Amino acid sequence: QVQLVESGGGLVQAGDSLRLSCAASGRTFSTSGMAWFRQAPGKEREFVAGITWRNGNTYYADSVKGRFTISRDNAKNTLQMNSLTPEDTAVYYCAASSAYAVSRNQGHYNTWGQGTQVTVSS
């Protein structure tokens, strides 16, 4: 079982940057993939970025491609967010899957963090 804790959220202006971190503990050796999802008020939770734990292959939602970068280092996963816009405002959740190296389906992730708020003002 893996436990995840997100950090790094906050309030920024449009065009600014933030770096989110997801610290993993527990049986991290069983992790196949990790990802970030986000949920804005009144919206469905959506896939943002993912990374395979073994090879570090990355995947991005079209809406963040070219602006966000996901990476991993040991038991930590980082989401670098640049050129933020108000549309990026959401609660960001880190997720880990023991069965899927990469997936955009939230149901494929068996471990979730508590979320960190990102707010981008105009």
For 57-88, how does the pLDDT look when each residue is reduced to its tens digit (9 = 90+)?
999 999 999 999 999 988 889 999 999 999 99
CB 9 within 8 A of CB 117: yes
CB 13 within 8 A of CB 120: yes
At residue 23, does pLDDT exceed 90? yes
**How far is 97 from 25, CA to CA, in rounded Å?**
14
pLDDT tens for residues 111-121?
A: 999 999 999 99
Report which DSSP code applies to 27: S
